[in-house]
Structure 1
Amino acid sequence: MKTTATRYDAFISYSHALDGVLAPALQTGLQRFAKPWYRARALRIFRDNTDLAAGPGLWSAIERALEQSSWLILLASPVAARSPWVDREVAWWRENRPDSRILVVLTEGEFAWDGEDAALPPSLRGAFEEEPRWVDLRWLHDADQVDQSNPRLRECVADIAAAVREIPKDHLVGRHIQEHRRTMRLARTAVGALVLLLVAALAASVVAFQQRDHAIQAQQRTLAAQRSVVARTMLAQADQIRDTDPRTAEQLGVAATRLSPGAASESSLVETLSGSPYRGTLTGHTYQVDAVAYSPDGRLLATAGWEGTVLLWAVDSGGARRVGDPLTGHTNSITSLAFSPDSRTLVTGSADQTARLWNVSDPAHATALGSPLTGYGAGGVASVTFSHDGRLLATPGAIQVPGSTPNLLWDVADPAHPRPVPFPDSPYGNIDRVAFTPDGRTLASQVSGNVFYLWDIGDLAHIRQAGFRITGPDSPTGAVLLTPDGRTMITGGSSDRSTQLWDLSDPQHVRPLGSPFGTESAAGSALALSPDGRTLATTDTDNNVLLWDVHDPAAVRLRERLAGHTAWVQTVAFSPDGKQLASAGEDATTMLWDVSDEDQPAPLTTIAPAGPDERAGSTSFSATGLLALAVGSNTVELWDVRDRPRRTASVTQQGVSVSPALSPDGRTLVTFDSSAVDDSGLLLWDVSDPARPRQLTGPLDLGRNETGWSRHAATVAFSPDGRTLAVGDPVVSLWSLEDRARPRRLGALFTTSTLATTLAFSPDGKSLAVGSGPSIILADVSDPTAPRARADPFGSNTGYVWEVGFSPDGHTLGAVSQGFTVLWDISDPGEPVRFGAPITSAPVTRGAFSPDWRTVAVQDSDGSAVLWDITEPAQPRRIGRPLPGASGVLSFSPDSRTLATTTSGGAVTLWDLDPLESLRHNAVSVACGRSGALNEDQWAFYAPGVPYENTCT
């Protein structure tokens, strides 16, 4: 029998499954029972979960604890009896310690000590010559009962503690009571002393706390000021690099928003996000990225590096993420990539004079297929291309022996066993790039130097040259593409670096389409055509990607310039759905671009006025989803635009320049003819039933002008409650619409210097802003019977004022004028203060403020509609890209979610602004998903003195 120095008074052996709650409570109770106040514990009890540290040998640690224990406390139950660990612990004890030192605590089952007891482990059954000491805890079924204050549990703890400490139970209980009383007495004494000390300390510390609070507040103010300064600096830096480095601009925008939250930093970040199609940067290659390719199913993106590895990326609308391990095997740079049409096979061409096929059905476990394709010379494989049916693979490149047959075509019906297809000698040199026509019968080839021609591959046994060749200084020396219909060829990289479209409808008489384009800086060595054949991506010598609209070869135009790469762009590729573009190059990165404009305002529908020669004029929305649209010279059409727009009715008024205005509740329509001379030209209509409008009253009598002619309306505005109508010409009058059939003029009139062009009520209806020629007048109309014009404190604007509007709180006034757009703080209407510089300095023809006062839309003289974020009036920011095809800005819907513009054809387009609104609400999370946070080195550069923060955590 082993003997060793004891470290533990007892060892608890138990089933974790059954007694995982009871065992800890029992351990605690034994350690506290009759504990003197000055000792940490009365007994030292071993329990595995509290006394075992992590280590390589579990049993050896338990065995050492058993060796150092005086007693074994067994929590017996049928569950514990089946535990091999409990049985092993008991067996060890019986071999090395006396049975009399085993204390049984029954937690479940029956205790038959002199027979085959199911509650005892096998090694202990029949071991007792007489009934041993045991404690019954079977009554303890509820976890809520395992509480040290439970008197029944305390009684059982006393039984066990008395046995372990070998003290009579009554003596031990008495000692427990005595120690408890002593502890309470000492506690009361200590509390009394502490109270006295606390009173003295409080008196002494009040001043210290006050001084500390002042110091903390001063430190916090200093830190806040420092963070604010750094944030403003970051915003200024983001403004400078927004067009050239969108990734860093987004990172700076997020950091500024975190350092100093507010409208200024948030609107700056929205400007960065909405103004660029940048969607993320992929890293992982050591050196330059020479090739990128999307799988036809759109699920994968492959990138190939100069170091000879391929990375696979899972693609979704939010960007791309790495999958699987890098594909390795090439010993030199990979020059080209291509997926098979079924997306199951990837081919790589390399400067190591081989091409390899890979099974990428499971991108996380991609594997090589067969042996490498060989037969190429020092230049290696120039490009790789699958035919549209996936049966043929073209791998042009330098051949081993000049004049010999190159391994240009392969039959890959079985990708694991490609078979070379005999191909005629190239009479003009090595074939570098090829493209299959959609029907698979023709192969277009581009040859090193200055030659391009076609091959008839309809009969693979008799491939022959079947077309033209282009030679001369303007011939292609770079990339070549075919449009999806196979009727147009695109070549790039000619001697003047231009890109050219060619008509292939007659292969024997190929002719250029339009003129070469991109001659100023386009490199032309990388080309990619969108799946619909309408957009061409090229590269330039300034590290940019250029997007060209090529749907009309006779009028190719540059659509957008994508900046962000810091070195030469080697390759570009469109996703199969045409919504995403990948570009990569010498900066060892792949950048993703959204070319679908999905986060830009989207056209909901286009409303075409009735009649082929009719053109839309002004519009007016109601909160009920009704749109009034001026059409031609004498008609206003009513449209229900709540779901699918539909024309409900129209009203006609003789004259020209008929303009509509709807009341806020959508029940009243005002139409007026600004050219009328014999009356006001202003009519009121009941449109409560939009399908059956009825005239409420004839032309209003606005009185006579100084020459005796009847006055006529030039502009109107409803008060917010719809009960008052303001009518403007050189004289502005207010009318009560309490009885819509009998409008009543209210009080005196006030005159303007010139024709009133725009009117707007303040949200409380007590002020009226009037745009009159180049001037703005703010009138007090709190008493509509006596409207009073304040002095003109706004000064003269450049050109006519087209639009005025109030913010929802009434504290800001905005004006869109012919010269520029301006915002004023009118908290004190008598002394308005202009917010910063004008929003626009270019000539503006029209504009509109959104009712929520977050956006102003202006129509530039060049015909583009531009949106500005005015949530921070002192620093408005341009958001989104110009709305295409919008020739005129008309009005916002009452919920600010829709904008109406006119088209050059005279129709009205309704734009959904929800994508921009979503971007406003989620700007930080969107930016973090695209660009991530500044790293520590960047933070130290952009935020000196401020501790590093991961602003995307």
Structure 2
Amino acid sequence: MRRPAPEHFDAFISYSQALSGELATQLQRWLERFATPWYRPRTQRIFRDYTNLSSTHDLTGAIYDALAISRFLVILASPAAAQSKWVNNEVTWWRENRPAEQVIVVLTAGELRWDDEANDWHWDETTPLPPAARGMFTSQPLWTDLSSIGDARELDRSNPVLLNSVAQIAARLRNTELDQLVGEHIRLRRRTRNTIRAVVATLTILLLATLAATWVAVDQRDSAVEAARIAVSRQLLAESSSLQLLQPGLARQLMAAAYRMAPNDQTYGALLQSPAMPGMLQRDEDVSAVAYTADGRTLAVADGDSISLIDTTDDATVSVLAGFGLGVSDIGFDRSGRRLVGTGRDGTIRVWDLADRENPRLVGSTSVDGSIDQLALNADGTRLATVERGQTWRLWDVSDAAPPTVLATLRGPGTTGSPVIALTDDGALLATTDEETGILLYSLASPRSPKLAATLTGHTGVVETLDFSPGGAVLASGGADDTVRLWGTSNPGKPRPLPALVGHAGKVGVVAFNRDGSRLASADWTGSARIWDTSDPVRPPLVAELAGHREFVNDAAFSPDSRVLATASSDDTVRLWYAQRPGASMPRAEVSAGASHVFALDPRAPRLLAGSALRMWNIAGSTVPEPTRPLVPTRPGPDAAAWSPDGRLLASDADAEGVRFWDTENADDVRPAGRLPISSGTVDALVFSPRDRTLAVAGADAGVFLSDVTDPRRPGPPRTVPVQQPVAGGDLAISGDGNRLAVTTPEGFELWNIADWRERTPSRVAAVTDVGRVDAVAFAPGTTRLATAGEDGQIRIWDHGSDTWRQVNSISGHRGAVSALTYLPDGRTLASGGEDQTVRLWRTPPDGDPASVATFSGHATSVWGLAAAADGSILVSADQNGYAFVWQLDPETLLSDLCRHSGPSITADQWRVYVGEADFRPPCV
């Protein structure tokens, strides 16, 4: 019997079959079943053409009929969808017949960027929407980002990205609060899980009773227990994802518990993404202010009547500064990080020297009548501005280790309330507010006689907060009119208004620039924060929206490297957000080496070599390492470099001079160690054998040859490998046993036997010419496997055993060409990088299909280089812009970092709620 036609659909999914067919199928299922008990009918009806139309339908008419009875249109946006006439027609129909407010956009590929000023998409940069969407929206629609999901293997309902997106869409369709709906979903999943556990337990008991005397029973029992552990771990991952905003500390602990319970590819993949999760510091009282020292090692947190100095490496409290009877109102560091100033609501000002942060030294203090509500400190810590209740602000001299002295005092016309204040880094310009006139700019050329330079008007309500960018060229203000405004203040006498930043749902009480002025954080009284890209203050796009605080946000501060934004709230917490590239993966460290294809990782020590000047970075400590002096100070520099397996010899090309060697045994004293001449041409690729100091050299004109560089001052004579034609900028790889050489060619790649290359010319094992251009080759250590990849985006796995040569598997997932490959030392994990600006990890077992483990995003251009440490603890990726990202792969280090910002330990009651009756084992203790 045919199912009767529905009276309505809650949503119509518009998509491109070429790219998003499987995603549309899964999205339809999950939206219909989200937060619904398994035994009840679906609560939502979602239209998708292949599900809801029979083969006899008039397709065009049926599509429009379905649109006519649908409440929402869900567009799966991608470049393919933008080119689809069906998607364009469906959007056209909706635009003509339905409100744009009932459109939801799901990004599956490409880039979306909203223009707040034009109230439309940035069409020069927006690629996944069809032409009919131009001018359709007057405000930014609800949209979610699923572009990080690479293939069908990642379409798992426990995938945190997918779960978040489904929850947001479902909440909109049902007109329900997101938190309430997610809570109901978790409750139902927990109930289902408990039911499954009871069934599994019952079946296990019956099985044991029936087969108690056999090993089969034991094996099946173990399998059942393991299956239950995996099921619980998946549920914990899902719940961790749903709790990231409201309870980030608990979310981090649930993820740690999931991995410890079942350390498999799924939980490991989630763990690899955990550095980007929000962190939390739980405090006992309202947090009024936060500030970082210049080196980023210390975070000062003001709550209650004291200031705590917290070590950012382990969240340990280093020292506590007291002395504020009615509570701390504000704090600030000078640029060196040695001087800290705190103000109190009891009118006190205290100045500490933090040369020894474990034993801070109070060097000055004073007080005024009444409450001091805010301070501003110039960069060198010699000038301090404060504001008091009753419309009074003062300028202080705090240059000496003595009580601060007043330089100037000004009073506004009001008698209640408090102005806000900001000071430029050089202390030459001060901004303050007046309820009647707006923002006042004062020149402090003569500190004892401030001169009014200009008055700024534009806010339609009271101005709540001010901050100058470093250098003082831009002033940001936040107001009770829910807006952020920017002002050009390079010429203080003639400031110019810049575009207003809109989108906050409450009055803006916090604005804060990062160290170089390229980012601005703003926060409102609803508890949400935003990050704006102010590198071009004339057109500052929104970078991220951060929601999670339950009360007002009182203060915000960027870490010196701009990677973390700390927000302080009246909900007794400090939240820590990944701010450099919100929404992307968070590398452990990053290096900017300039556009160059020189890139090598020391296998024995945490040293990275990059850039045409051959600079080295120690990547073990700072998140933004500092380089050493260049080995090649002149340009143009080398185009290729490689380290020997023992890390003691570095090879780099030297143009017409051939290959140059460097003695790197002493990291602090790298010296030239010899040269290998070449007859002609340039060098494009270098690689050492994993077994000895055999060096392979390749160049489009120089050809391919091998040399023994055991003594780099007297390298052995080169032995030519008669490759048909090495590709310019190609790749080389030598197998783990040193017996095979793989070389990329314009048509594919060639494999050569080099086991006895010193005695005779290498012989060709295979030449593959039917896979298109190959850009990357990598051997799996300890195996006979070779991975290749290139312009078609496919990764192919080959077996190069002594008597056979065959392709054994292929991997899809990247969008566009794959230009970099490397195996981790385990020989089972393959890393790939490509034009889609992602780095992907794959598990490639000897038997069975490859599986996706994780996708790292964040690069802004194509990834062309990859290298793994000899112990497999880190992976480094390099892109066309000259950025190198260091990714942490060691699970114990990741767990330690995950627990570092996880707040109070999970309680036994919480454990029972989320984990069940398993033994109580807090994962972060």
Indicate the percent of aligned positions where both proteins have the same amino acid.
Answer: 23
CA distance in 1: counterparts of 2:283 and 2:637, whole angstroms: 52
| Alignment match of 1:950 (pick from 909, 922, 925) | 922
2:314 corresponds in structure 1 to 318
- Alignment CA distance shift 1:468-1:410 (3 Å): same
Q: What is the correspondence of 1:403-422 to structure 2 with a 5 Å cutoff?
A: 406=392, 408=394, 422=409
The alignment status of 1:664 with 2:649, answered yes or no, reads: no
Relative to structure 2, which stretch is displaced further, 333-342 or 929-938? 333-342
**Which position in structure 1 is the counterpart of 2:804?**
788
- Which residue number corresponds to residue 82 of structure 2? none
Residues 303-357 of structure 1, C-alpha deviation per residue, up to 9 Å, x if partnerless?
A: 346xxx5564544532243966987754xx97645679985763124xxxx6345
User: Residue 779 of structure 2 contacts residue 823 of structure 2 at CA under 8 Å; is this kept in 1?
Assistant: no
Q: How does 1:423-434 map to 2 (within 5 A)?
A: 423=410, 425=412, 432-434=419-421
User: How big is the shift at 1:902?
Assistant: 5.1
In structure 2, distance between residues paired with 1:901 and 1:424: 56
CA-CA distance at 1:607 after TM superposition: 3.0
Q: Partner of 1:346 in structure 2?
A: 342
Do structure 1's residue 502 and structure 2's residue 504 form an aligned pair?
Answer: no
Q: Which of the numbers 572, 576, 579 marks the counterpart of 1:588?
A: 572
2:387 maps to what in 1?
A: 396
Query: How far 1:234 sits from its partner (Å)?
Result: 0.4
Does the CA contact (< 8 Å) of 2:784 and 2:800 recur in 1? yes
Q: Secondary structure at the match of 2:588?
A: coil
Aligned to 1:282: 282
SS in 2 for 1:231: helix
- Alignment match of 2:612 (pick from 608, 613, 622): 608
2:342 counterpart letter in structure 1: L
- Shift in Å, 1:253: 1.5
Normalising by structure 2, what TM-score?
0.57
The CA deviation at 1:422 is 4.6
Quick one: distance in 1 between partners of 2:828 and 2:782? Answer: 19
Confirm or deny that 1:941 pairs with 2:913: yes
Instruction: State how far apart, in whole Å, the 1-side matches of 2:325 and 2:524 are.
Output: 32
Partner Cα separation in structure 2 for residue 701 and residue 409 of structure 1: 75
Shift in alpha-carbon separation, 1:695–1:750, aligned structure 2, 3 A: same
- 1:861 matched to 2:835: yes
Checking the alignment, whether the CA contact within 8 Å between 2:683 and 2:697 is kept in structure 1 is: no
CA distance in 2, matches of 1:737, 1:216: 49
Q: 2 CA distance for matches of 1:866 and 1:649?
A: 35
Q: CA deviation at 1:252?
A: 0.5
Shift of 1:738: 1.4
- The 2-side partners of 1:675 and 1:743 are apart by 19
Is the Cα contact below 8 Å between 1:629 and 1:636 reproduced in 2?
yes
User: Secondary structure of 2:467's partner?
Assistant: strand
Mapped pair 1:927 → 2:914: no
Contact 1:683 1:699 in 2 (8 A): yes
In structure 2, the residue corresponding to 1:481 is in which secondary structure?
A: strand
Gaps of at least 5 residues in structure 1 are 1-206, 400-404, 703-709, 795-814, 816-821, 823-837
d(CA) in 2 for partners of 1:216 and 1:666?
A: 49
Paired residue for 2:629?
A: none
Q: Which amino acid in 2 is paired with 1:303? A: A
Do 1:315 and 1:321's aligned partners in 2 also have CA atoms closer than 8 Å? yes
Would you say 1:849 and 2:845 are equivalent positions? no
Could you tell me which residue of structure 2 aligns to residue 527 of structure 1?
A: 511
Contact 1:228/1:260 (8 A) holds in 2: yes
Whole-angstrom distance in 1 between the partners of 2:723 and 2:361: 83
Q: 1:383 is paired with a residue of what secondary structure?
A: strand
Q: Distance in 2 between matches of 1:450 and 1:869?
A: 61
Alignment of 1:59-458 (within 5 A): 225-241=227-243, 246-262=248-264, 264-272=266-274, 274-276=275-277, 278-285=278-285, 289-293=287-291, 301-304=300-303, 312-321=308-317, 329-330=325-326, 336-337=330-331, 346-349=342-345, 355-357=347-349, 373-374=368-369, 382-385=373-376, 394-397=385-388, 399=390, 406=392, 408=394, 422-423=409-410, 425=412, 432-438=419-425, 440=427, 442-448=429-435, 451-456=438-443
Deviating more after overlay: 252-261 vs 613-622:
613-622
Q: Does 1:718 align with 2:734?
A: yes
Taking structure 1 as reference, are residues 903 and 718 closer, same or farther at Cα in structure 2, changes over 3 Å only?
closer
Rounded Cα–Cα distance in structure 1 between residues aligned with 2:404 and 2:723: 92
Alignment of 1:645-664 (within 5 A): 649=675, 652=678, 654=680, 658-664=684-690
Q: Is structure 2 residue 555 aligned with structure 1 residue 571?
A: yes
> Counterpart of 1:830?
none
Partner residue in 2 for 1:684:
706
Alpha-carbon distance in structure 1 between the residues aligned to 2:779 and 2:869: 17
Deviation at 1:571, TM superposition (A): 1.6
The answer to whether the 8 A contact 2:393-2:411 is kept is no
**In structure 2, what is the Cα distance between the partners aligned to 1:925 and 1:637?**
41
Alpha-carbon distance in structure 2 between the residues aligned to 1:579 and 1:312: 22
Match of 1:743 among 761, 769, 773: 761
What code does the residue aligned with 1:606 have? A
Contact 1:478 1:492 in 2 (8 A): yes
Q: Distance in 2 between matches of 1:861 and 1:426?
A: 60
Comparing 249-258 with 223-232, which one deviates more in the overlay?
223-232
In structure 2, stretches of 5+ residues that fail to align are: 1-208, 581-585, 593-607, 614-631
Please give the alpha-carbon distance, in whole angstroms, between the structure 2 residues aligned to 1:578 and 1:839. Answer: 31
Q: Return closer, same or farther for 1:253/1:777 CA change in 2, 3 Å cut-off.
A: closer
The structure-2 alpha-carbon separation of the partners of 1:210 and 1:887, relative to structure 1 and needing over 3 Å to count, comes to: closer
Q: State the secondary structure of the residue aligned to 2:257.
A: helix
Per the alignment, residue 463 of structure 2 pairs with 477
Compute the displacement of 1:233 (Å).
Answer: 1.0
Aligned to 2:374, what secondary structure does the other structure show?
A: coil
| Root mean square deviation, CA, Å | 5.5
Q: Report the residue type matching 2:756 in the other structure.
A: E
Alignment of 1:753 with 2:767, yes or no, is no
State the SS of the aligned residue for 2:737. coil
Map Cα deviations across residues 808-827 of structure 1 (whole Å, 9 max, x no partner): xxxxxxx6xxxxxx3xxxxx
CA-CA distance at 1:891 after TM superposition: 4.3
Shift of 1:723: 3.5
Residue identity opposite 1:608 in structure 2:
S
Following superposition, the deviation at residue 244 of structure 1 comes to: 7.3
Cα distance in 2 for residues equivalent to 1:521 and 1:743: 70
Inter-CA distance 529–853: structure 2 relative to 1 (3 Å threshold)? farther
Q: Which moved more, 1:563-572 or 1:767-776?
A: 767-776
Tell me the TM-score normalized by structure 1: 0.55
For 1:347 and 1:525, how far apart are their aligned partners in 2? 18
Give the conservation status (yes or no) of the 8 Å contact 1:867–1:882.
no
